[in-house]
Amino acid sequence: MAIFWRLVLSHLLADFTLQFDFVNKLKRRSMWGMVIHCLTHFVVSAALTWNYLAEPWFSAAGVQVGGWAALGVMLVIHFAVDQLRVYSMKTLGWKDGTASFLADQALHLYVLFMIAPVMIDGPDLLMGEKWAAIASMVVLITHFTTVLIYFVEKDLFNKPFPHFDEKYFLIFERVVLWAFFFAEGRWWLFFAAAWAGQLLYIKRKRIMDLSGVNVWLSVAMAVLVGIWTRLTYYGYL
């Protein structure tokens, strides 16, 4: 499963961390924007799976498909899925909301699972290599959660994308809360709870104009990813 989790990391990096605002806007207006976005996925995926690209990844109609060809399949399907999403919004008038965002992500991950070889060399490798899993978690609680909260708030309150201060303040808050899950023993639970409490206090005192949905989703994602982190890092909670 090492290749699959490396592909997951590359997807998260290319779809969130490296999909800058101008690329996101350009891909909705121009075919070139979509090409740039999909090529970013291809390059990052190739870089992270470089040592495995010469190996066969999956079989189709009895033909062994190697790493480079598998990434080519991923590139074409990613382009088609994202282009279809843009078409459905611009031409068919479908809403670009939480449901479409999660469906899009689920489909991309499904494709990665289908093209990656299933190789489990030991009990710990079902979750992939630790470094790839933890790097994926960093992207999940930073940029992925930012986008997820944006779509939820957009659906509920028609709120625009968060401004710079709000975005990076909440990223910082989530990262610190998540980092407590690396600590050994149980002493850290008190400090993690206190850190989550101060975020609720900031919301209550309106030190920063944050919705309850934003705060609770931030805390929930940091805790859920933190549990995954602890299981991956230590093998137990």
Three-state DSSP class for residue 111: helix
Give per-residue pLDDT as tens, 145-198.
Answer: 999 999 999 999 999 999 888 999 999 999 999 999 999 888 899 999 999 999
Taking 70 as the threshold, does the pLDDT of residue 128 lie above it? no
Distance from first CA to last CA of the chain, Å, rounded? Answer: 22
Residue 62: its pLDDT value, please?
85
Segment 51-59 shows an average pLDDT of 93
Predicted local distance difference test score (pLDDT) of residue 237 = 76
pLDDT of residue 223: 96
What's the Rg (C-alpha) of the chain? 19
pLDDT at 1 over 80: no
Q: What is the pLDDT of residues 23-49, one digit of tens each?
A: 888 888 888 889 999 999 999 999 999
**Domain segments of the chain: what residues?**
1-126, 129-237
**Does the pLDDT at position 202 exceed 90?**
no
Higher per-residue pLDDT: 1 or 223: 223
Segment 68-77 shows an average pLDDT of 97
Which residues does residue 58 pair with via DSSP β-bridges, in sequence order?
A: 65
Q: What residues pair up with 64 in beta bridges, in sequence order?
A: 59
Q: Helix or strand or coil: residue 76? A: helix
- The pLDDT assigned to 25 comes to 81
Query: What is the structure's pLDDT at 55?
Result: 93
| pLDDT for res 42 | 97
